[in-house]
Structure 1
């Protein structure tokens, strides 16, 4: 039977219709997937509005809700910076460190600051900047190079310590043993080398760790501190290497040299200063400036010199031990000269920062940590500390007590006369006496014609250790100064790293943030509130210099692929801050 196309099409339509009717007769089934509680919680957090929308600015005109960001985050107009614009009124740049922006030749390089401020200009966020003058994070190497002493050379000479020619061959020589092993010997010998290079009588060292000791009686008026080099001749079959040269000073034979042995550039041996195996090395030089003599030792005219090579198997001859000395007169720059030099340097630095921030920065922390922790009636000082840590320079030691007034006047000149000026001090919770000291120092600074608008402080707290009574006492004492009070860096940790943080700890963190913001609003009168800055808006990660791996933020900051706090997500701490501003 032959079927045409039309008949086939009608048949197919009837079949499909029957199929759809049959399907419609089955019961409809509904499927649903329950949301994880973590997603529900996060959606609840995300439902809150931006932070600054919860702040009542009408009764606190000076208040700023601040966030600390890196210059690079702003200069690059990063997504996170753009997000922060909707949550905060003010950026805090408190890492304008002298050492980061002043070159080795002393030239301020402000490109990073300028770039960040230019990007932020269009965003319209206020900027608080500091700390312009502090003792740490300074280009100390450059600053110290500006005041070299004037050195006037005087008489020089060479003192013969020992050439052994008056000694009896075979006799023992005084030694000091650096360990319990006393098998090493030091005896007068004759030089086994024949010919013109023969050295006559020598000191022969055999065995381990025997250090010869020499009586030194320098010429009148010459001291160990005047000695520049130790010279000697050495010929060793063994023992040139070992653990290195050791040298020390004592007042009697057999005594422990200086209570210790000073190592010469640790690990360097006789070979390192030119000794060659089985050949006489003449006039080998040891620079005495590499040894840490005490001030008292440097004043000695007569002493016992202990010197040798730390080796377990010496077989060597020594001869012609000498000390070269040189007298000179040191004329340091006067205090007045130093003050002039460093006032000019401070002016150069403040001018560069002030010019970069002019019309873009309206609030400054000019001086950071001015007061001594032990006696807050005094300024911090490097005087009497000996060698200062790297990148440490105390401006106040050269400019005097009015160094803050000097810096403030400079900033007002180069930036804007109407800018708000703060002095920042830390460690106020456990040392409330510093607040009175700060109040007194501000009064002195203002008596020098430099107005200070407010006090800023920093707080790094933990939910497990915070003493709320002490913190609130600090806030009350700050309020009593009558100045604007700014919390320029606040973060609250959980007492451990992110991996150890639990839901309970995160809730405690939220409650602690809430408590602090409410305490600030309670104890600081509205007219004195200059703001709260969150030092780290997000949790810290490995590699951060500040509180690495600690969950201190209002947002998470997980790395790519992390299963712990991945991405930038609001935390319960965010709600704690919101509720504090709501007065809940």
Structure 2
């Protein structure tokens, strides 16, 4: 019998000959062939997989394999198996967003282009995986696109920082030091960036940054640590704020920052300190902007420059009421903002309004006294508003006993009026006091236009450093980013990839969309880690527009970049065969596809069911799994869409509910898996109409290594780790053949 690599790999059969010490004649005997070898020999009789596709299948049926693009490009055993057994490939990761886009938003499609070139040479088509997904994105870059827009800082705004007074120059640069003890020590051998704003009472040179390991056992004769990094000076320190930056790799564990300036006799000021590890965003310095006016963590050296928190600017630039009129109207009363008192004011009594006000242009603001019930109205006057914060005071006396509204009129003014530190007084006590620091605008009402800083963040005050983008602005920014990504991918594939997972794993598998179906994936229903590490486009583009935007971009940029064959777009998802929810997820997916296509523009061509399944030793469990595979295929057939088994692989679960590792699998368990493969593939062809049969893709070509991030150590392949056929190969082939 000929033993081939296809079954067992390379084997050496050794004839054993024993010599007799009596007659010196050889005693020959035969070694019986192991049952394990004999039981695998039938696999030699199988042809390559693609030759088993049923003649009754869709003539365009694609038998596919998923693999790493780099493995296929390498041209080794994986390439040979792919070319001989399959007609289509799916790249595991190479065509995903995070593989092509870095944290700065820069795109690189070299790997994709090389993969396309290799596929053409091998005569295989490519199934694109995937254009849109919430996982494997670049949250750092995408969140930066929709981050609040920085605003000019009001020069009058209060700013706190730390001051070090040297009280006279020393002889050496180390004689005067500002120190900060880090809450968490820096790691040895890691890259960090330190930024700080510095100014001085007069210009000087000779300021350096010396981070130190103060807890080091390596002390010198003075008791100080020898484990110091001397990072050098950054030129002259001026009398105006300037930013200084040090990039360094830690030579030791470092737990304390030292900024040395011993030869300077004056005051040095520090603000906005940021220390970050490369690739991270967390500032390792607490209260680096001194918004909390505390010196916690700060210190000095033995020559003791004194230090304290100081401030510049004023307290008048906090949150404030913001009234904006974008279009000049015929009368000043055509735009109004009023304060609604709790009860009507007393007729004839004297009341006082005081506040700080400013505007984008000078304006004489008229005040009305009104009644919410109508009828009562007075015109007591107004006050001038300039472009700088000014104190105003206005006294008024109600002429009616129904007056309960104090009204600003500014319809003939184009611009913004800011109001802060408001006090209404009746002469004996204050009826209303607000500096809007709690972001409350309770009692304030507008007619025909105003904006205010509220708990929801509408508007901004003169010292606010940024303004949030509106939901519509975020949608527009991210739509442009999505279009840019898809255009880049379509250029890289140059019309060769005609079928895509246009959106991957959109359905959450939980919640209720209001119609009895699952909601879409969202940061709101994800775990804390998933919400942080993923980017949920649909949270910004909208549940319905998300898919519509991606589909439209795919069709547009495919056509513009060499695409001539019909483009087929799939929605791909997992757990569609699940029995624990009676196939609710696949029903939900079909429901959402109908919603996405309800605009009569968007067209979804097909549905991909991943089918990362397991074969169960428990008969009842296995029976339930098989029944729901059938139900899934029936639902997919009824959808009228193309159907693809997009990521088929299989593990084994024993009677105790444990996943069995490859090394512990029995031959009976392998054969049970082969039967389940045959069942799945056969049912696909039996239930899915030929016209809807797009194809089947096996997700794992070989069993997973123990250190694999995907089903590590499990028997998920049709070949073993030595590229020998397994029983599952036969089951898969028999299913394709309809046996």
TM-score normalised by length of structure 2: 0.52
Structure number having the greater helix percentage: 1
Instruction: Determine if the alignment matches structure 1 residue 403 to structure 2 residue 515.
Output: no
Q: What's the counterpart of residue 555 of structure 2?
A: 412
Residue 536 to residue 157, structure 1, CA distance change in 2 (3 Å):
same
Structure 2: 5+ residue stretches without partners: 1-24, 171-195, 198-212, 217-252, 261-266, 276-281, 284-290, 299-303, 314-462, 514-518, 653-658
- Whether the 8 Å contact between 2:57 and 2:693 is mirrored in structure 1 is no
What is the Cα deviation at residue 528 of structure 1?
A: 2.1
Residue 304 to residue 335, structure 1, CA distance change in 2 (3 Å):
closer
Equivalent positions of 1:83-94 (< 5 A) are: 83-94=81-92
**Secondary structure, counterpart of 1:461 in structure 2:** strand
| Farther off after superposition, 32-41 or 129-138 | 32-41
How many residue pairs align between the two structures? Answer: 452
Q: What's the counterpart of residue 38 of structure 1?
A: 36
Choose the corresponding residue for 1:332, options 438, 461, 468: 468
Q: What's the counterpart of residue 450 of structure 1?
A: 602
Q: What's the counterpart of residue 574 of structure 2?
A: 426
**Secondary structure, counterpart of 2:153 in structure 1:** strand
Q: For the residues of structure 1 that align with 2:693 and 2:118, how far apart are their CA atoms?
A: 28
Equivalent positions of 1:143-154 (< 5 A) are: 143-148=142-147, 149-154=149-154
What is the Cα deviation at residue 136 of structure 1?
A: 1.1
Equivalent positions of 1:16-415 (< 5 A) are: 33-95=31-93, 96-148=95-147, 149-154=149-154, 155-157=156-158, 271-272=256-257, 322=309, 327-375=463-511, 377=513, 378-382=519-523, 392-400=534-542, 401-413=544-556, 414=558, 415=563
Q: For the residues of structure 2 that align with 1:114 and 1:323, how far apart are their CA atoms?
A: 58
Structure 1: 5+ residue stretches without partners: 1-26, 162-193, 198-227, 230-239, 244-266, 276-281, 294-300, 310-316, 558-566
Q: What's the counterpart of residue 723 of structure 2?
A: 568
Q: For the residues of structure 2 that align with 1:56 and 1:376, how far apart are their CA atoms?
A: 41
Residue 325 to residue 289, structure 1, CA distance change in 2 (3 Å):
farther
Q: What's the counterpart of residue 548 of structure 1?
A: 712
What is the Cα deviation at residue 242 of structure 1?
A: 7.7
Q: For the residues of structure 2 that align with 1:336 and 1:145, how far apart are their CA atoms?
A: 16
Choose the corresponding residue for 2:681, options 517, 525, 535: 517
**Secondary structure, counterpart of 1:130 in structure 2:** strand
1:274-323 CA deviation, whole Å, 9 max, x = no partner?
A: 79xxxxxx999897999x99xxxxxxx9x9999679xxxxxxx9997748
1:54-82 CA deviation, whole Å, 9 max, x = no partner?
A: 21143433432211021112222223222
1:434-476 CA deviation, whole Å, 9 max, x = no partner?
A: 3233223222332331211111121222223754133333333
Residue 476 to residue 376, structure 1, CA distance change in 2 (3 Å):
farther
Q: For the residues of structure 2 that align with 1:372 and 1:479, how far apart are their CA atoms?
A: 22
Residue 115 to residue 288, structure 1, CA distance change in 2 (3 Å):
closer
TM-score normalised by length of structure 1: 0.65
What is the Cα deviation at residue 349 of structure 1?
A: 1.2
Instruction: Determine if the alignment matches structure 1 residue 491 to structure 2 residue 643.
Output: no
- Whether the 8 Å contact between 1:160 and 1:320 is mirrored in structure 2 is no
Choose the corresponding residue for 1:508, options 672, 676, 696: 672
1:502-538 CA deviation, whole Å, 9 max, x = no partner?
A: 2222122212212222232333333322222110021
Q: For the residues of structure 2 that align with 1:395 and 1:287, how far apart are their CA atoms?
A: 33
CA RMSD of superposed structures (Å):
4.5
What is the Cα deviation at residue 334 of structure 1?
A: 2.7
